[in-house]
A = this chain, B = another copy of it.
Amino acid sequence: MSYSLELYYGPMSVLDVVLGRPLPSSEERAEQIGPAKGIPIFGLDALGSAAYGPEAALTLLIPLGVAGLHYILPLSACIIVLLAVVYFSYRQTIAAYPSGGGSYIVARQNLGTFSGLLAGAALLIDYALDAAVGISAGIGALTSAAPSLHPHTLALCLISLLILTVVNLRGVRETGAIFMTPTYLFLACMGIALVIGIAKAIGSGGHPTPVVSPPLSHAAAGVVSLWLLLKSYASGCTALTGVEAVSNGVGAFREDRVKNARRTLGIIIAALGLMLAGIAYLVKAYGIVATDPNGNNYQSVLSMLLGAVVGRGWFYYVSIASILLLLTLSANTAFADFPRVCRFVAEDGYLPTAFANRGRRLVYSEGICVLALITAALLIGFGGITDRLIPLFAVGAILSFTMSQAGMVAHWKREGGPGARRNMLINLLGAIATGITVLIVIAAKFSEGAWVTLVAIPSLIALMYGVHKHYVKIRREIEIKTPLDADRQSPPILVVTIQGWTRVNKQALRVAMVLSPDIKVVHVAEENQPNEFCDRWREYVEQPAVRSRLPIPELVRISSPYRFVVTPIVQYVNQLAADNPDRRIITVIPELMERRWYYWLLHTQRATILKTRILMECSDRVSVLNIPWHLKSV
């Protein structure tokens, strides 16, 4: 027999209003997106990098003064080349793994479980940091623009986090729709400013006059060294975080998936590359040196650049606002990709299975909520100012790129076929380039905190192995392929707990009497106390049972000198189970159900405690039958 159920969604519940009505699985296709929405969903982090990547690289060049600007073009070129390598590599991954192929999948399938978990753990940690740092950077920029908001930094961070969480829980399509405007506004502003700036620079023979002059830089205080340039490169590489996101989210695109995902990735990378190149060129042309982020006269590089190119008019302020907004929203990439990575890992049994269930809006709600909790903990722990977390990230992202590329090398080697050799070479190049970058980033940032990541990643991997081991043990223990042993069993012994004669308990006893002829009614009291129920036992229970020729329940009075009620019942049931090794025992627990939660304060929680203790402390042969009585009048 097959029974099909029509879910009725009458009055909207609060949850329906906040998160949207549940979507049936059949609407999956309607939820799928194209590049226009894909860019805001998966690209915010990468695009936002344009705002902090060059800044991070330039900050390390401050000691060199204006002379440091000679190095920004080659440094940016290296980063852009790396970006291009990563792009070509992921283009191939998307085609090879059209149902979603982030570094976890690629590394696991081609290099083995450990490599997969390494890539997955690195990525998960990076996203968690990313979400906290993104939100905190956006709010930090806001509070430096409006210092009166400064005391509310943490509250503003948490509100942003809540909004991001709710929007993401509402599903992919809505997220894309909501974040489209800020994304494209940012791209438009940056594009216009860069085009104007480059035109001016070329028009003036490479030496444009700034509309608003950037502050004069101090004289060079240090000399250039390879180590300084490597550190600057390592910092600039934060621009690469978030590039991975599209590859895990291929499944969210509509058909032709591969084409749409590739196009989205291409646009994101192209926009990011152009912005990085343009910024590097203009910074050099206008002679803009980064200012000390801890100094009083701090001004961000993009703010100086915009001032120099277009002056402090409305366009400046719109652009700055769009940058702030984008920084805050850049945390969204973590929200889009973290749950997907968790899902892939959970499907292989290395994270709790709940991560693999799609929630009411067809997104992986559990992952979104867990990320929100981790982010909230980080934000609260650091009071909303997460500067100290910045050196921790990028390691994870670039490490996962390396694993992914290496995995693809193995993939092509195994796969063979036309073009495999060329593709393998591209990925090998990528693996080497990103591998070297990982080493540089770890070395350059080790003492500033990258070591924390190096501790966190193995810990998370160990946890994942632990989870998997536990699941395997459970599966081994409970999995069977044998049919029901349908031998005749003797009826169970029913233990009915009754402290007084009420409708609640009477109903429970009636139910028990249908189920088995073997019924013990247990009554617990302090010693030597007269009790109305026990005293009238014959009248209340025995005689009616005799009259109806029903089996007669047995009254068991337990005296409890310590006034405990639950413990004696648990001990009695355990004793009964030991005395009857071939029988099952059902503990019948009548329970008064209150309508409102605060009425529960008026009752001892004895039934709940008894249920829990019986289930936890007794053997498999002892089960609990909970018989409710709903109050009608109250």
Contact = CB atoms under 8 A, between A and B. Distances in A.
Given A4-B559, A467-B602, A480-B506, A548 B26 contact: no
A514 to B, nearest CB: 5
A388 interface: no
Given A24-B561, A604-B357, A620-B628, A509 B480 contact: no
A628 B604 contact: no
Interface in A618-634: 618-620, 622-634
A633 B476 CA distance: 9
B554 A1 contact: yes
A429 interface: no
A514 B540 contact: no
Nearest to A8: B571
A629 B357 contact: no
Given A473-B634, A604-B357, A632-B477, A485 B562 contact: no
Nearest to A604: B354
A615 interface: yes
Number of identical monomers bound together in the oligomeric complex: 2
Contacts of A568: 5, 7
Given A514-B492, A624-B626, A561 B486 contact: no
A497 B463 CA distance: 31
A487 B548 contact: yes
A414 interface: no
Interface string A11-33: 00000000000111110000000
A541 B484 contact: yes
A547 interface: yes
Contacts of A360: 562-563
Interface in A455-491: 467, 470-471, 473-474, 476-481, 483-491
Contact of A562 (B23, B353, B547, B627): B23
B634 A470 contact: yes
Contacts of A578: none
Contact of A544 (B7, B486, B618, B624): B486
A1 B557 CA distance: 7
A365 B467 CA distance: 41
Interface in A257-313: none
B623 A623 contact: no
Nearest to A478: B502
Interface string A593-634: 100000101111000000100011011101111111111111
B357 A563 contact: yes
B564 A593 contact: no
Contact of A489 (B510, B571, B633): B510
B561 A25 contact: yes
Interface of A: 1-5, 7, 22-26, 352-354, 357-360, 467, 470-471, 473-474, 476-481, 483-492, 501-504, 506-507, 509-511, 513-516, 526-527, 539-541, 543-545, 547-548, 550, 554-564, 567-568, 571-572, 584, 586, 591-593, 599, 601-604, 611, 615-616, 618-620, 622-634
Given A3-B558, A352-B602, 16 more contacts: A3-B557, A5-B560, A22-B563, A22-B564, A24-B562, A352-B603, A471-B602, A478-B592, A484-B506, A484-B545, A486-B547, A486-B548, A489-B514, A492-B511, A492-B515, A511-B586
Closest 9 CB pairs of A and B: A24-B561, A486-B548, A486-B544, A478-B502, A22-B562, A623-B627, A484-B544, A2-B557, A478-B503
